[in-house]
């Protein structure tokens, strides 16, 4: 029986997606871009060129339409943050942050996915995601999950393991619903939800 990770890899190869990697100053990110390109799992996109040539890797800054995308990103960010009073000049300055630029580009459909957090903190990645990409239409809360494949190929989804340290009952319910939907989307299995506690409160 083929495991979920291998199935997802094969699925990715049949229709490689464009993946933004905004932390191109980390050697691990450059190596990951090389692996993704060589394996055909995805089309890696770096924001700027690094010190060495990376075959099959797209460089955003070298596109002929890069400035048009940047201009649209400014407009998009101003619109997304208008309730916070963001101006055009503030948006231009904010978009000098590679994480924020990447999330706004995702919002506009420039790429299909993004990966960050090799250098940036979890808080920085989440902040950029919330400000630049926003939440799903029905969501009120940001949460995370881990997809785990056991040795017998059973697949478990654990949430929230990184974002919401002390959820209340309503937040727990939303995390459960969102995690179940993610599990079903990735595995095509009907999820069964269990609530676990890591604390005995002393």
Exposed/middle/buried for 98, CB within 10 Å: 0-12, 13-18, 19+?
Answer: buried
Per-residue model confidence (pLDDT) at position 53: 84
pLDDT tens per residue across span 81-115: 998 999 999 999 999 999 999 999 999 999 999 99
Hey, CA dihedral for 70, 74, 77, 79, is it positive or negative?
negative
Per-residue model confidence (pLDDT) at position 5: 86
Hey, CA dihedral for 185, 195, 139, 126, is it positive or negative?
negative
The total of structural domains in the chain comes to: 2
Examine residue 177 and state whether it is found in any structural domain, yes or no. Answer: yes
- Is 95 in contact with 73 (CB distance < 8 Å)? yes
Assess whether 79 and 154 both reside in one domain.
no
Q: What is the CA radius of gyration of the chain?
A: 19
Quick check: bond before 192 cis, omega within 30?
Answer: no
**CATH code of residue 35:** 3.40.50.10950
Examine residue 138 and state whether it is found in any structural domain, yes or no. Answer: no
Examine residue 199 and state whether it is found in any structural domain, yes or no. Answer: no
Assess whether 125 and 150 both reside in one domain.
no
Burial 181-195 (b: 16+ CB within 10 A, else e): ebbeebbeeebeeee
pLDDT tens per residue across span 9-40: 999 999 999 999 999 999 999 999 999 999 99
Assess whether 76 and 169 both reside in one domain.
no
Question: d(Cα 33, Cα 24) in Å, to the nearest integer?
Answer: 9
Mean confidence (pLDDT) of the chain: 92
Assess whether 158 and 68 both reside in one domain.
no
Assess whether 46 and 116 both reside in one domain.
yes
Q: Which domain holds residue 60?
A: 4-133
């Amino acid at each position: 029986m083929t495991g979920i990770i291998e199935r997802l890899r094969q699925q990715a190869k049949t229709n490689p997606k464009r993946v933004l990697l905004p932390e191109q100053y980390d050697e691990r990110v450059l190596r990951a871009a090389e692996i993704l390109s060589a394996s055909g799992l995805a089309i890696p996109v770096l924001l700027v060129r690094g010190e060495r040539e990376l075959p099959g890797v797209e460089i955003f800054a070298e596109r002929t339409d890069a400035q048009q995308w940047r201009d649209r990103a400014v407009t998009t960010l101003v619109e997304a943050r208008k309730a916070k009073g963001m101006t055009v000049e503030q948006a231009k300055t904010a978009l000098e942050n590679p994480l924020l630029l990447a999330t706004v580009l995702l919002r506009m459909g420039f790429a299909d996915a993004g990966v960050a957090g090799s250098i940036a903190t979890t808080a920085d990645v989440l902040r950029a995601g919330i400000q630049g990409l926003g939440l799903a239409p029905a969501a009120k809360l940001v949460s995370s999950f881990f997809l785990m494949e056991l040795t017998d190929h059973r697949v478990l989804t654990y949430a929230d393991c990184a974002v919401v340290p002390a959820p209340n009952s309503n937040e727990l319910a939303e995390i459960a619903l969102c995690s179940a939907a993610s599990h079903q989307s990735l595995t095509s299995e009907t999820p069964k939800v269990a609530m676990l506690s890591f604390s005995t409160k002393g």
